[in-house]
Structures are given as C-alpha cells and as structure tokens.
Chains A and B, each alone.
Chain A
Amino acid sequence: MTNPRVGIIGIGQSAFRARRDDASYPDLVREAVNLALADAQLELDDIEAIVYSLSPDAMVGIGNAERLGVDAVGARNKRFLRINTGGATGISSVAAAYYHIAAGACDVIMTAGADKVGECGDSQTVLNKIWDPTYERSLPLGTITMLAMSGIRYAHKYGMSEEDMAGVVVKNRRHASLNPNAHLSKQTTIEEVMTSRYISWPIKLFDCCPQSSGGGAIVLASEKYIKDRKLDAVWITGVGHCSESYYLGDRMGRGFMADHADAHALGESFKRAYKMAGITDPQKQVHVAELYAPFSNTEFHSIEAAGLSGLGQSVPELRAGRFNIGGEIPVNASGGTLCTNAIAVTAMIRLAEAALQVRGTAGGHQVKGARVGIASGNGGDHQFFGTMVVEA
C-alpha cells in the first residue's frame, strides 16, 4: 500500500513564557491559530476539521477545556476531536490530523491547543494523580521521580554522571538562547547546573523543564490541495506510535520486555516511522532531531531510541558535541522540552520545530542544510510514544 502524502502548510507557536497574564486560555489558543493561519495564508473558514490538543484538564484547571477552546479554533459547524496522550498529546494530535487527510475525510485540517502550566501551582500534584489509586497513589510518584528512577537505571546500566546530565542542559540552553520562542533561554554552565538544588536525585532544578504557558497550531493538507494551489509544504513521510505496559515495576526485575532505563516503545515507534519513510540508517539520513526530553537524563535514552546512537553511546557522543548545532546531528536545536514545556502542545512544537528546520525557516537556530527531520513525544508514565519524519 502506498501512503497518500500529507503536507504541513502552516505553523504557529507562541513565544513561551512562565505566565501570560495578558491572555485567557482561549486567547492563547487563538494566538497560535492566527499565527498558523497567517503562515498558511488561510482563513478559519478554509479549515474543514479540527483536532484539539489538550493533555490533563487539571493542568489548565478547566474540566474538558476543549469546550472552551471550540470558538478559539473556529470549530462551530465542523468536525472536532480532542486528543490526550499526556505529554505525547501534541504529536498524537498531529497524527490524528494526518490520518483524517490520509483517510480522505478532508483536504485541509488544523490541530491546535495551548497550555498554561505556569498557572497551576501544583503540577507534580496533578501528575501524581495519573498513578493508579489501587497500588501506587500512596507513593509520591510524579513525572520527576518516575524519570529520576529511569536515570538511575540508565546510569547503572551504561554509566552516566551528573556532569553528563548537566552537559545536556548546557547544550539545550545554548540552543534556546538562539530561539526567541524558548521559555528558558539564558545560557548556563556545568557548574551552575551542578550547584542547583536537588529535586529528585539525581535530577536537580536545572535538569528540569520549566512550566510554560503558550499555544501551538499546525495546518495540514492533502497532496492534491497543495499541488492544486501550488503551495510550499513540508511532507510528513513517516508516522509511528507505540505504547508501553502500565506498571513501572514491570519494566525492571526479571524477564521484562522493556527496561525502564531505556525508552523501548519510543524505539519501536521510531522503527515504524522510519520504515514508512524508507529510512534505513538514521545516523546518516536524519539531519536534525527534536526529541521530547523534559529532564536532562531522558535525552540520552531518547537519542538512542531514535537510532542516532547505539545503546549507552549517546553520553560520550553528546560530550563530544555530536548533537550540538554545528555537530553531526543536532538534537533539540530549539532548546527542546528542557527549555519550554507547555505540556498540551509540547510534542506538537517538537514536530513544528523539525518542520521549520527542513523548511529552512528556523531562524537563529537553523541547522544548515537540514532536509530530513524527526520529532517525538512521550506521554503517561513513560507509556505513549509518537514519532514522525518530516522532509522538505
């Protein structure tokens, strides 16, 4: 079966900040929608359907906030679908939009959303509630502690020091300093990261993503729509999704299918996206990667799951500068999730940034000559993974 081609024709993202007191939640969604429509040179009435990108309601503090977002995306009288796969929501939303077009349901569709994580004073308390009330709710699990434990297993298995983790922060902050939309864009040093306070050992304050506010929107169209109108597009050539089983404790012990040290299902998801895109050697064929990594240690297993390094090899390779802008395969040239995390749209921004790179319009953080980009999103308790390949 040949896959019908689907292209990205409009990209919009906020300049992400801790708070946006000038904008209500729907105002923030509309801001991103306006930017994407301007980029696509379309009006709201030109859009046939909406996929709405919204992760846990409690983060914005509005139950089923997609109801409130309906007018911001101009959904009245249109097909509308909300997607939530936690942190992977943004890329799952793009995938749902992609499949609308691939299935022939419509020719032009928009996915959009926003988050105001900075307005929630208790985001780890919200995230603690994603664990099951039967066996794990009494434990102080959160995304930080859950991924700190992944880091401990990764360090045990392959060797990774706290200085290695700090190296990820220094790289991504340097990249973010070139990206006006990044939330944390001040450069830092290994020493500054190392002296920041422990949150959940070995993760320190500077190893953590911020709580960001802002929106994202992407307009996708069918090949026919794009060719008929002679539009410029970035083509989505690979789409993959994969899931992990529920219990963290099943990803360790004896006879597990996936080690919590690694990102096994992310790797499977990338294999599916690569197969669809015809990528057989990602280390040679991928020019730029935007990988969802909210804590410094998780960038290592993400790079490996993307096939850009062998297992355990990303640590020395990152140290050697291979993933810097100017290096062999820049990873998170935008600064990535580590510098900006508006959860509902974070994984969408990963794809948006990869698309901007291959389009050659990434601005100050442009990777020269990038023609093939990849993006990923991770959600749940390291559970739902979405990946894409984009090409100019």
Chain B
Amino acid sequence: MELMTRNEAWNITYRHALGETASYFYTEIRDNKKIFGRRCATSGRVLVPPRAFSDQTLKPTTDWVEVGPGGVIEAFTMVYEDFQGLPPPPYAFGYVMLDGADTALGGFFRGVDLSNSAEAAKKLAVGTRVTTKFAEKRIGDVLDFWFEIAG
C-alpha cells in the first residue's frame, strides 16, 4: 500500500524578559563596550556571564566586576555543517575565560582561516590568549562581541 506523509513547520515567536542582571550586562556592552561579571562574596569567584546567584555556593552574588577584554580559550569547535536556523558554515565558537573572571563566556572566534581545520585547531588551542572585539553597531546581545587571537 502507499504510505502517506504530512509536512509540518513550527514558527513560534517569544519576547523573553532578560531580567535585571543580564540587562545590566548587555547595557554595559552596548553603551560602553565593557564586560561585567558578578562576584560571589562567599567564594570570591567572578561569574561571567553574570548570574544573580552562584552555581557553587548557591548564594546571591553581591557586586559587579569589570573583566577582560583579554582572556584565554577554554573550549572551541569549528562547525562545517549547515543547520537550519544556525549561521552558515564554516564558523568557530567556544568559551573564553576573560581576565578577572573565574568562569568562561561563550562567543564566536573570528579572524582564523578555517579552510584547513587541523591548522585552525592549533591556532584555537585551549590556553590560547585572545582579546574581545566589539561590533560598531551594538544592540545588547552576545553577538555584539567576539574573540580574536591576541596579536
């Protein structure tokens, strides 16, 4: 017998409130090209991106600390496959521990030729120094900044 199929597509919209902590973080990025974390007074750790409470002590964080713009790569990957709704490949992204922070912040890596993945992987190795770059036009989003190899 003929087996039938039916096509479906979901297109759902949301307007997410970011809350006070993330709103401050993004306002500083947008208006002043500065990245801030939140310090946990109990452990002294600076959480970036900033959270209202600590993942470890579970206590509320207490003060804002400016971090970066330099940092070190903690993790990366290079994507060569096209996924619906995600950027066109190839691209590299990952996590950077900014100077003064104790945790790592996600962002794109730019300025590395990804055509030879083995060579690119050496340039993006864990522990590599990077610096944060800011977009000319900023809207208050993670895409307002990216990381480049410090040179």
Q: Is A61 an interface residue (CB 8 A)?
A: yes
Taking CB atoms, residues of chain A closer than 8 Å to B78 are 198, 200-201
| A257 located at the interface, meaning its Cβ lies under 8 Å from any Cβ of chain B in the complex | yes
Given that A133-B16, A248-B95, A250-B103 are known contacts, is A142 also in contact with B83, CB under 8 Å in the complex? yes
Chain A residues near B101 (CB-CB < 8 A)? 253
Query: In the bound complex, do residue A58 and residue B10 qualify as a contact, i.e. CB atoms below 8 Å apart?
Result: yes
* Stretch of A121-129, A280-288, A348-356, A367-375 lying at the B interface: A121-129
Let me know if B106 is at the binding interface, CB within 8 A: yes
Per the bound structure, the CA–CA distance linking A254 and B37 in Å amounts to 14
B75 touches A153 (CB 8 A): yes
Give Cα distance in the complex from A124 to B79, angstroms. Answer: 12
Bound together, the chains give a CA A256 to CA B74 distance in angstroms of 12
A153 contacts across to B, CB distance below 8 A: 74-75, 126
Q: Which residues of A contact B121 (CB under 8 A)?
A: 201-202
A149 to chain B, nearest CB (A): 4
Report the separation of the CA atoms of residues A61 and B78 in the bound assembly, to the nearest whole angstrom: 29
Knowing A122-B85, A139-B107, A253-B102 are in contact, say whether A201-B77 is a contact too (CB < 8 A): yes
- Flag whether B134 is at the interface (Cβ < 8 A): no
B76 at the interface (CB under 8 A from A): yes
Candidates B49, B51, B93; contact of A140 at CB < 8 Å: B93
Q: Confirm or deny: A228 has a beta carbon within 8 angstroms of a beta carbon on chain B.
A: no
- A253 & B103 in contact (Cβ 8 Å cutoff): yes
Residues of B within 8 A of A200 (CB): 77-81
- Say yes or no: A252 contacts B14, CB within 8 Å: no
Residues facing B in A118-145 (CB within 8 A) are 121-122, 124-125, 128, 133-136, 138-142, 145
Q: Kindly list chain B residues whose C-beta atoms are within 8 Å of the C-beta of A140.
A: 79, 83, 86-87, 91, 93
> Does B16 contact A149, Cβ atoms closer than 8 Å?
no
Q: Does B62 contact A (CB under 8 A)?
A: no
Looking at B18, B83, B120, the one whose CB has the most chain A CB atoms below 10 A away is B83
CB nearest neighbor in B for A138: B142
Q: How many residues of B contact A (CB 8 A)?
A: 52
- A21–B47 Cα distance when bound, in Å, is 48
Residue from A125, A142, A248, A249 whose CB has the most chain B CB atoms within 10 Å: A249
A54–chain B nearest beta-carbon distance, Å: 17
List of B residues within 8 angstroms of A248 by Cβ: 75, 95, 104, 106
CB <8 Å contact, B83 and A249: no
Q: Is the CB of A148 within 8 A of B77?
A: yes
CB neighbours (8 Å) of B18 from chain A are 134
Nearest B residue to A141 by beta-carbon distance?
B106
B102 touches A145 (CB 8 A): no
Chain A neighbourhood of B142, CB < 8 A: 135-136, 138-139
Is B42 at the interface (CB under 8 A from chain A)?
no
* A158: Cβ under 8 A from any B Cβ: no
- Given A21-B3, A253-B104, A254-B102, A138 contacting B81 (CB threshold 8 A): no
Q: Is A191 part of the binding interface, using a Cβ–Cβ cutoff of 8 Å?
A: no
| Cα A135 to Cα B19 with chains together (Å) | 11
**Nearest neighbor of A124 in chain B, beta-carbon distance:** B83
Contact of A122 among B84, B105, B143 (CB under 8 A): B84
* Nearest chain B residue, comparing its CB with the CB of A199: B81
Contact code string B6-22 (vs A, CB < 8 Å = 1, else 0): 00101000101011001
Expressed in whole angstroms, the Cα–Cα distance for A21 and B5 within the complex equals 7
Asked whether A22 is an interface residue with its Cβ less than 8 Å from the other chain, the reply is: yes
- A252/B95 in contact, CB under 8 A: yes
Given A61-B10, A136-B142, A156-B125: A245 in contact with B55 (beta carbons within 8 A): yes
Does B34 belong to the interface (CB within 8 Å)?
Answer: no
Q: Is B32 at the interface (CB under 8 A from chain A)?
A: no
Name the CB-closest residue of A to B81. A199
Whether A5 sits at the interface, judged by CB under 8 Å, is no
Q: Which of A125, A150, A152, A257 meets B83, CB within 8 Å?
A: A125
Residues of B within 8 A of A257 (CB): 56
Q: Chain B contacts of A202 at CB under 8 A?
A: 121
Q: Assess whether B94 is interfacial by the CB under 8 Å rule.
A: yes
B8 touches which of A61, A152, A255 (Cβ 8 Å): A61
B48 to chain A, nearest CB (A): 8
Against B, the Cβ 8 Å flags (1 = close, 0 = not) of A239-254 are: 0000001111110111
A260 at the interface (CB under 8 A from B): yes
Contact of A125 with B81 at beta-carbon distance under 8 Å, contacts A133-B14, A149-B94 already known: no
Residues of A within 8 A of B19 (CB): 134
Question: Would you list which residues of chain B between 33 and 49 have a CB under 8 Å from chain A?
Answer: 43, 45, 47-49
Please state if A22 and B97 are interface contacts (CB–CB under 8 Å): no
Chain A residues with CB below 8 A from B107, complex form: 139
- 20 pairs, A vs B, C-beta closer than 8 Å: A21-B5, A61-B10, A125-B84, A134-B16, A135-B49, A140-B87, A198-B117, A200-B77, A200-B78, A201-B78, A201-B121, A203-B77, A247-B51, A247-B55, A248-B75, A249-B49, A249-B103, A253-B97, A255-B43, A255-B102
